[in-house]
Structure 1
Amino acid sequence: MIHAIIKDRPTRLFIILAGFFVANAIIAEIIGVKIFSLEETLGFPKADFKLLGTDHLSFNLSVGVLPWPVIFVMTDIVNEYYGVKGVRFLTLLTTALISFAFIVFYFAIKAAPDTSFWLGSYTNDGVPDMQAAYRAIFGQGMNIIIGSLTAFIIGQLIDAFVFRGIKKLTGEKAIWARATLSTVVSQFIDSIVVTYVAFHLFRGVPVGRTMAWAFTAYAYKFIIAIAFTPLVYIIHWGAEKYLGKSTAMEMKKQALTGV
């Protein structure tokens, strides 16, 4: 029986999509504690503007947004073939796995460090206390997990329902419309919620700076969502070839009706 399940193509496709989905979500959570300068990364002069009472802002954002568009592409493909129920299951599973990862991080931080070698092993590289560095990176990630997971759940469910609503209107046509518009809407909610909760509520960052980060992150996600539209078509085409036309059509029909 187990071999039949593993050989089942719809099941294998779901596992593949879920693997990329979960991996990118956890990677984004771990690396997201770093704020980087978009202008300096691209070699442009830093901007200087004012927003909501905060002066001297520039286009900075969390590196956690970099792998995030992949998650929304996977969401759209899962929604296409497995429906809102598939997205909901994957969202809750990923939330549980992210929570588990941060529980592991917590105990890893609390474990007593090796003072004979590891603690000062990177002193020559400018890191005199590896335990402090370890705590600063993984501990900071733990401080923002509530905002991150809240935004993740809300964003994913909104993406799924917007995608399904557009597909009911367009049918099998206009893949770009349901993929792009659902992502654009959900990413806006995700960017605002995660940045406001994680940095303003929990870390006291001024709301102007917080919203500047959120809008910059959203602008990046918006541009990538448009740029990734051909990728959605490519993955869609590959899924159709892998599943077979009749199986793919039946799956999409059941995904839309929720049966």
Structure 2
Amino acid sequence: MIHQILKDKPTKLFISFAAFFVANALIAESIGTKIFSLEKLLGTSPANFKLFGESGLGFNLTCGVLLWPLEFIMTDIVNEYYGPRAVRRISYTAVALIAYAFLMFYIAMGVPPADFWYSTGVKDGVPDMSKAFNSIFGQGMWIIFASITAFLVSQIIDVTVFHRIKKFTGEKKVWLRATGSTLISQLVDSFIVLFIAFKIGKGWSWQLVFAICLINYAYKFTMAIVLTPVIYFAEKRIENYVGHETARKMKLAAMGKEEE
């Protein structure tokens, strides 16, 4: 059985996609505790603009956004060749493993630290390693719940929009269904995270929620456009790997169609 799996290129490709998809999602969630300044990264002055009555705003983003655009690209690629059921399967797997990982983080935070470990980071400017560890991994439950919920809902929306566009465009206009589905799903993703984690969890005003949502979405919108050529590059590499005819059959099967 295992030999058949390892010899089948579409199967091996799906396993690789699923592994990268889950790993990328887990890493994005783990590094999401750090907020960085996009202006500083680009070497520009702080934007300092006003939205919905909220002033002094800038492009301060979670490090998770560095990886999430790749997740939506992977969704579109898997959707194109394996269909919505495959996307849902890897999405549910990712959510389950993210939840498991955060459970393990909390267990690790609760384990009594060794006495000598408290001060092992003093020379590096970390006076209490245990507090530092808990600070990094101890995200609030609202944020964790918000992130997982947003990820799952946005993935389902991405799949649905992708296939509805493809029904009208056929095999043409890959950029339209890939970018269009990503733009819609990432808007939903941005709003759900902020609504659950900060409107419900922290009592933010609607004005602040909408302002931060638009700032985050502006970045995601830009990245979705910039990374569109990656879809075409990936499709070319996939067809070279599995063969043009096999790729054609995979796309037909993904759409629930019989071979023509």
TM-score, with structure 2 as normaliser: 0.93
Structure 1 equivalent of residue 56 of structure 2? 56
Q: Deviations over 1:212-240 (max 9, x none)?
A: 33222211111111111111001011111
Contact 2:142 2:196 in 1 (8 A): no
Partner letter of residue 112 of structure 1? P
Partner of 2:135: 136
The answer to which of 137-146 and 2-11 deviates more is: 137-146
- CA distance in structure 1 between the aligned counterparts of 2:203 and 2:135, rounded to whole angstroms: 17
Matching residue's letter, 2:78: V
Q: 1:129 to 1:205 in 2, by over 3 A?
A: farther
| Counterpart Cα distance in 2 of 1:109 and 1:131 | 8
Relative CO higher for 1 or 2, CA cutoff 8 Å, sep ≥ 6? 1
Distance (Å, rounded) in 2 between the aligned partners of 1:46 and 1:208: 21
Structure 2 stretches of 5 or more lacking a match?
none
DSSP-derived class of the 1:128 partner: coil
- Partner of 2:255, secondary structure, is helix
State percent identity of aligned pairs. 51
- The more displaced of 125-134 and 62-71 is 125-134
* Shift of residue 258, structure 1, vs aligned partner: 7.1
Structure 1 counterpart of 2:18: 18
**Structure 1 unpaired stretches of 5+:** none
Map of 2:32 onto structure 1: 32
Distance, in Å, in 1 between the alignment partners of 2:61 and 2:220 is 11
Q: Tell me how far apart the structure 2 counterparts of residues 206 and 111 of structure 1 sit (CA, whole Å).
A: 37
Provide, for residues 94-150 of structure 1, a one-character-per-residue CA deviation record: whole Å limited to 9, x for no partner.
10010111111011101111112x211112333211111111111116541100011
Alpha-carbon distance in 1 for matches of 2:180, 2:42: 27
State the match for 2:249 in structure 1.
250
Deviation (angstroms), 1:257: 1.8
Q: State the partner residue of 1:6.
A: 6
Partner amino acid, structure 2, of 1:124: K
1:176 is the counterpart of 2:175: yes
Letter aligned with residue 243 of structure 1: V
Q: Superposition RMSD on alpha carbons, in Å?
A: 1.7
Q: CA deviation at 1:242?
A: 1.2
What are the Cα deviations for residues 233-257 of structure 1, in whole angstroms up to 9, with x where unaligned?
A: 0101111111112221111111112
The corresponding residue for 1:213 is 212
Q: Partner residue of 2:42?
A: 42
Give the 5 Å matches for 1:45-124. 45-116=45-116, 118-124=117-123
Aligned residue-pair number: 258
The aligned counterpart of 1:162 is 161
Deviates more, 1:145-154 or 1:193-202: 193-202
1-side partners of 2:196 and 2:166: how far apart? Answer: 32
Give yes or no for contact 2:54–2:211 (8 Å, CA) kept in 1: no
Query: Partners in 2 of 1:245 and 1:20 — Cα distance?
Result: 24
**Do the aligned residues in 2 keep the contact of 1:31 with 1:63 (CA within 8 Å)?**
yes
Aligned residues of 2:119 and 2:126 also touching (Cα < 8 A)? yes
In structure 2, the residue corresponding to 1:55 is in which secondary structure?
strand
Shift of the 212–128 alpha-carbon distance from structure 1 to 2, 3 Å rule, reads: farther
8 Å CA contact retained: 1:29, 1:141: no
Instruction: Name the CA shift for 1:79/1:145 in 2 (closer, same or farther; >3 Å).
Output: same
Partner-residue secondary structure (3-state), 1:250: helix
Q: 1:231 to 1:178 in 2, by over 3 A?
A: same
- Between 1:67-76 and 1:57-66, the stretch displaced more is 57-66
Partners of 1:142 and 1:15 in 2: CA distance? 31
Secondary structure at the counterpart of residue 56 of structure 2: strand
Cα shift at 1:202: 2.0
TM-score normalised by the chain length of structure 1: 0.94
> What amino acid sits opposite 2:253 in the alignment?
Q
